[in-house]
Amino acid sequence: MAEEILQASKPQGGVAGLSGHKVGSSPILMREVQGVETIRYTTGIGELDLALGGGLVKGSVILIGGEPGIGKSTIMLQLASVISHQYKRKLLYVSGEESAEQIKMRAVRLDADTENLHLLTTSSFEDVLAALEASYFEFVVIDSIQTVVSSELSSSGGTVGQVRHITYKLVELAKSRGITVFIVGQVTKDGNIAGPKVLEHLVDTVLYFEGDYTRGIRLLRTVKNRFGSTNEVGLFEMTEKGLVEVGGDLFLQQDTSSASGQAICAVMEGTRSFLVEIQALIAPTFLQFPRRNTNGFDHNRLQMLAAVLEKRGGFNLSSADIYLNIAGGLRITEPAADIAVCAALISSFKDKVIDRRKIFIGEVGLSGEVRPVSNMVARVNEAARLGMNTFYSPTDAADKRIKTFRIKNVRDLILFLDK
Ligand code: TYD
Ligand code: MG
């Protein structure tokens, strides 16, 4: 719950002010409405274009949310560089949290083109409006919305009232003048109250940055998009020269030394498929309640799969600790990884290495039956592309490059892995 102070004089904007509509509009015939062509800029950063649904739409408002340190300012500066270099458009970068020197240092580090980049370090929204009034900027970046304050409201910066008011104004500007606006929103780990959530309905596109800090992997997720499909993900890696695009084999361990307890699965993120390595370790325990430890996988699901292996497969797991880890910091939420988890568990239990060109896809039910999952074609394509050659699944791979072993039950899996 956050307190919101009501203003005596209502700030302008509100619903009527959205997208530049005038108060006192009357109905019109839909068929007489002139369609306008949307102008798209490809950003040259493929993964970002993908997340944006095929490039940047002129006059749209895009919200980029994410935890501090995830790379929001970095990607904004990289994008600014493309706009400056490729399109030679004037861009205003408003920073309320960093000094001009800090931003300059980052730009140097990123080797960014800053020819047409104008910097405004302020926390006053009125300064931003004045700058936009004084000269035409086709692109504006607000980094971040929580650090810019409008004096029209008495509440302090970062409150629901402030961020909403400023976003209304920015949307208005974007629609009336064809300015493309990026709004950076901080999300704190405990779910900031005045965070980007309260802005999602106001803007055209919402992107969220998430990832694994230790390995530098970053996922840019499309949560909302009026100009393209949601459910897209852009994949990046944070390097010393900024964010670079990466492909789908990212989540596989790079060293190919094999150990028992490892199995590979193809999971879906939006419309894309990734190969992910599942690592299991089964160790004898002296605890009354053995450990079931998971990282990146649902704890209850692991318990269920362990119970299925115990009951249907005859494995004695009740006197063993189980550790399960999804390599690369990805979180798996779909049941398609079930038999890969089972395979990793069996492999660790028997201390038998699974060849790294084998791939496991299928959902496991309580009776030990293995069920097909969606998006088989995308998964198999990605697997074949990355050199996988054997497929364990209830359905056929239907791909010449891959040999299929039909798995109808976890018992089949146990038999196959014994061979
Ligand atoms: P930043 O974009 O400042 O994050 P945000 O704006 O989301 O808070 O970047 C955060 C981290 O990225 C910072 O800890 C340093 C690191 N980084 C790199 O590893 N390489 C780089 O080239 C840059 C610019 C930053
Ligand atoms: Mg930042």
User: Which residue has the CA at smallest separation from atom 1 of ligand 1?
Assistant: 71
> Is 84:44 a contact under the CB 8 Å cutoff?
no
Q: How far is the CA of 274 from the centre of ligand 1 (A)?
A: 25
Q: Considering only CA atoms, which residue is closest to atom 15 of ligand 1?
A: 69
The answer, yes or no, to whether residue 191 has pLDDT greater than 60, is no
**Residue 208 clears pLDDT 50, i.e. is over it:** yes
Ligand number, closest to the Cα atom of 187: 1
Residue 360 has pLDDT above 50, yes or no: yes
Which residue has better confidence, 410 or 210?
410
State residue 282's pLDDT score: 95
- Going from the Cα of 404 to the center of ligand 1, the distance in angstroms, rounded, reads 44
Question: Which residues are 268's β-sheet partners?
Answer: 273
242 Cα: distance to centroid of ligand 2 (angstroms): 13
Q: Return the percent helix, strand and coil in the chain, to nearest 5.
A: 30, 25, 40
> What is the percent of the chain with per-residue pLDDT over 90, rounded to a whole number?
56
pLDDT in tens, 133-152: 999 999 999 998 999 999 99
Contact 61/142 with Cβ under 8 angstroms? no
Task: Work out which ligand 1 atom sits closest to the CA atom of 144.
Answer: 6
Mean pLDDT, the chain, integer: 88
Q: Say whether 10 sits in a helix, a strand or coil.
A: coil
pLDDT at 251: 65
Token duo for residue 158: 């970062």
Give the Å distance between the CA of 215 and the centre of ligand 1.
13
Token duo for residue 396: 């056929």
- The confidence score (pLDDT) of residue 139 equals 95
H helices of 299-375, in order, are: 299-313, 338-350
Answer whether 238 contacts ligand 1 (Cβ < 6 A).
yes
Q: How many CB atoms lie within 10 A of CB 362?
A: 25
pLDDT for 277-334, tens place per residue? 999 999 999 888 999 999 989 999 999 999 999 999 999 998 899 999 998 777 888 9
Closest atom of ligand 1 to 216 CA is: 19
pLDDT at 16 > cutoff 50:
no
Q: What is the pLDDT of residue 192?
A: 56
Q: Is 124 exposed, middle or buried (0-12, 13-18, 19+ CB in 10 A)?
A: middle
240 lines ligand 1 (CB under 6 A): yes
**In this predicted structure, which of 69-83, 194-208, 293-307 has the lowest mean pLDDT?**
194-208
194 — pLDDT class (breaks 50, 70, 90) = low
Is residue 147 in contact with ligand 1, taking CB distance under 6 Å?
no
Name the residue with higher pLDDT: 103 or 4.
103
pLDDT of residue 270: 76
Q: Which of 143, 220, 238, 241 has the most ligand 1 atoms within 8 A of CB, as the residue to mutate?
A: 238
CA–CA dist 342, 134 (Å, integer): 64
